[in-house]
């Protein structure tokens, strides 16, 4: 029920890495980025997960960057052979990629400071697509990549989170989406009919229903979302009246 | 480094729901399905997350079902107005959707048994696209949807997991992907060069490098994967020799 036509900025997330698709790594970045964007009024409209296959990464990048205001990627920017995100970004934009003098200096200085050899593998992290800018990495220095409307960040959550903070000031913000959650101790099967009618009458809000189970019973969280406070309050009032009406009827059970 | 040309069955996952993209719900289904498929030798090649927008769901379904052996979806099959997966599956396949007599009987009997009204909302869950089959739901009876190579399951993890077990016997299995993890106490910047050369020499395996941090230091898990046990063992032997060589050099630090 998101309104894709609103003027708020939109975004997509692209998670890159075999390890997420094999199940070896359980992704923690999508939920974090979703919270980050929602707090800034940026509508996250889509997410994808692809393997470390250049053609797949390029296809996803091109589909997403054409459609949304921003694309945030995670993973594949380290020093090993399976880190191919920088090359994929270059290929997606049809530009060359090479060692960037500024990035080379940044990393050379850093490796000298911490007593590391500037191996060829490490210096791969100083490669940038033509026209790209670095995203600051306050954790381990090796930069992320900002190219057009694409922000390529690390897969390690701590580094990804720091990079997201670093790019935050550059991002256009939207009006915040206001959200109210009303806990209903009824099954969705009792709520569903009248709630659907309520949604039709309140087109300016998005109403979601999320069943839950606790030790003492079942219910649903009714989440009402809108950028318009008056519209939100009007819908919430009506949801509360609906629940009061249902409370006068026999209690319900599971999400059925 | 997945081999998309192998004859093993492939799969995509499509997570459906505004709540995942808003950050309100942190998805737990993708990792579970990934483990499930990997254990059966089915290659999970891609995943997507879309909002409760029919056009977006249909577009994703059609892109994925054309490309992979199986598509598993989660979410949007409940009784409320934002549950539109069944309609989206019908639209994707270009067929009509209506109440299915078998599903109607199943749900009517169940609601009678547990003393629930067969409300219009509840009976929405008995709607199936023409030609679809039900996926058994031993938790709360309302069925999932099997249509062509698409399996549409619930979003509630407990129900999703039960549905996955129910469809398991129908799925073609692939040769299991064998996997060995070698813990390296070196930074990826030290490993990267020789590991990349090793990958080139061992084309029959996929080598991933995943940095980690513990209280006592940094390192990387080198994951070698293959369906060919001999190829796997040969690559693992060489990784272990590489690590022994590196151990004779000064110890390394972070994922740099």
Query: Could you report the per-residue pLDDT of B199-216, keeping only the tens digit for each?
Result: 999 999 999 999 887 777
Q: Are A70 and A151 in contact (CB under 8 A)?
A: yes
Task: Determine the Cα–Cα distance for residues A208 and A196; give it in Å rounded to an integer.
Answer: 10
Q: Is residue B72 helix, strand or coil?
A: strand
Mean pLDDT along residues A123-134: 97
* Residue of B82, B84, B195 to mutate, interface with A, max A Cβ within 10 Å: B82
Rg (CA), chain B: 23
Say what the pLDDT of residue A7 is. 79
Given B2, B44, B119, which is nearest A53 (Cβ)?
B2
A12/B contact by beta carbon, under 8 A: no
Residues in contact with B161: Cβ distance below 8 Å, sequence separation at least 6, in sequence order = B32
Measured between beta carbons, the chain B residues lying within 8 angstroms of A35 are 23
Q: Could you identify the residue written with the tokens 């009876």? A: B141
When the pLDDT of each residue in chain B is averaged and rounded to a whole number, the result is 92
B59/A contact by beta carbon, under 8 A: no
Say what the pLDDT of residue A1 is. 45
- Reading the block at residue A224, the tokens are 């009402």
> Which residues 15-44 of B are in CB contact (within 8 Å) with A?
18-27, 30-31, 34-38, 43-44
Mean pLDDT along residues A39-65: 97
Say what the pLDDT of residue B249 is. 72
Given A27, A80, A114, which is nearest B196 (Cβ)?
A80
Residue of A nearest to B3 (CA): A53
> pLDDT above 90 covers what percent of chain B?
84
Backbone angles phi, psi at A35, to 5 degrees: -60, -45
Say what the pLDDT of residue B250 is. 59
A124/B contact by beta carbon, under 8 A: yes
Q: Could you identify the residue written with the tokens 């299915």? A: B100
Q: Are B43 and B12 in contact (CB under 8 A)?
A: no
Residue A248: pLDDT band (50, 70, 90) is confident
Q: Is residue A226 helix, strand or coil?
A: strand
pLDDT at residue A3 is higher than 70: no
Mean pLDDT along residues A62-77: 98
Q: Which residues pair with A244 in a beta bridge?
A: none
Q: Other CB atoms closer than 10 Å to residue B150's CB: what's the count?
A: 23
Residue A43: pLDDT band (50, 70, 90) is very high
Query: Which of A203-207, B54-58, B69-73, B187-191 has the weakest average pLDDT?
Result: B187-191
pLDDT at residue A83 is higher than 90: yes
- Reading the block at residue A40, the tokens are 């800034």
Q: What CATH superfamily classification does B10-170 receive?
A: MoaB/Mog-like domain (3.40.980.10)
B196/A contact by beta carbon, under 8 A: yes
Give the residue from A73, A55, A230 showing the smallest Cα distance to A160: A73
DSSP B9: -
Q: Tally A–B CB contacts below 8 A.
A: 249
Query: Which of A25-34, A86-95, A234-243, B205-214 has the weakest average pLDDT?
Result: B205-214
- Could A191 and B80 be called an inter-chain contact, meaning their C-beta atoms sit closer than 8 Å? yes
The ipTM assigned to this model is 0.92
pLDDT at residue B65 is higher than 70: yes
Residue A251: pLDDT band (50, 70, 90) is low
Q: Are B154 and A225 in contact (CB under 8 A)?
A: no
Q: What pLDDT digit, counting tens, does each position of A148-178 carry?
A: 999 999 999 999 999 999 999 999 999 999 9
Q: Are B39 and B8 in contact (CB under 8 A)?
A: no
Mean pLDDT along residues B161-176: 97
Given A56, A207, A255, which is nearest B78 (Cβ)?
A255
Query: Which of A24-28, A30-34, A162-166, A244-248 has the weakest average pLDDT?
Result: A244-248
Mean pLDDT along residues A234-239: 97
Q: Are B61 and B71 in contact (CB under 8 A)?
A: yes
State the nearest Cα–Cα gap between A79 and chain B, in angstroms: 6
Residue B92: pLDDT band (50, 70, 90) is very high
Give the residue from B76, B92, B95 showing the smallest Cα distance to B84: B76
The domains of chain B are located at 10-170, 178-247
Say what the pLDDT of residue B213 is. 76
Measured between beta carbons, the chain A residues lying within 8 angstroms of B49 are 13, 30, 46-48
Measured between beta carbons, the chain A residues lying within 8 angstroms of B144 are none
> Which residues 97-116 of A are in CB contact (within 8 Å) with B?
110-111, 114, 116
Task: Determine the Cα–Cα distance for residues A252 and B23; give it in Å rounded to an integer.
Answer: 28
Our CA angle for B25, A25, B139, nearest 5°, is 50
Say what the pLDDT of residue B3 is. 47
Say what the pLDDT of residue A223 is. 96
pLDDT at residue B251 is higher than 60: no
Residue of B nearest to A28 (CA): B26
Residue of B nearest to A254 (CA): B140
pLDDT at residue A211 is higher than 90: no
Task: Determine the Cα–Cα distance for residues B231 and B46; give it in Å rounded to an integer.
Answer: 25
- Reading the block at residue B101, the tokens are 């007599």
Say what the pLDDT of residue A246 is. 85
Q: Are A14 and A61 in contact (CB under 8 A)?
A: yes
Residue B255: pLDDT band (50, 70, 90) is very low
Where does B178-247 sit in CATH, by number? 3.30.70
């Amino acid at each position: 029920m998101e309104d894709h036509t609103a003027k708020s900025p939109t975004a997509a997330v692209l998670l890159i890495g075999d390890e997420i698709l094999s199940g070896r790594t359980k992704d923690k970045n999508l939920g974090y980025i979703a919270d980050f964007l929602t707090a800034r009024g940026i509508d996250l409209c889509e997410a994808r997960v692809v393997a470390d296959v250049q053609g797949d990464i390029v296809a996803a990048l091109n589909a997403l960057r054409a459609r949304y205001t921003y694309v945030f990627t995670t993973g594949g920017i380290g020093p090993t052979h399976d880190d191919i995100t920088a090359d994929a970004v270059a290929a997606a934009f049809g530009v060359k990629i090479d060692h960037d003098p500024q990035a080379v200096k940044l990393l050379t200085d850093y490796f000298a400071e911490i007593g590391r050899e500037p191996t060829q593998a490490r210096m791969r992290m100083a490669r940038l697509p033509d026209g790209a800018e670095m995203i600051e990495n306050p954790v381990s220095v090796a930069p992320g990549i900002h190219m057009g409307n694409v922000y390529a960040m690390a897969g390690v959550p701590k580094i990804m989170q720091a990079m997201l903070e670093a790019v935050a000031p550059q991002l256009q913000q939207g009006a915040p989406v206001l959200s109210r959650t009303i806990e209903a101790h009824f099954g969705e099967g009792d709520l569903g009919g009248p709630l659907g009618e309520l949604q039709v009458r309140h087109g300016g809000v998005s109403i979601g229903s999320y069943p839950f189970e606790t030790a003492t019973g079942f219910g649903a969280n009714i989440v009402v979302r809108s950028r318009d406070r008056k519209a939100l309050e009007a819908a919430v009032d009506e949801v509360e009246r609906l629940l009061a009406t249902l409370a006068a009827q026999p209690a319900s059970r599971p999400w059925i």
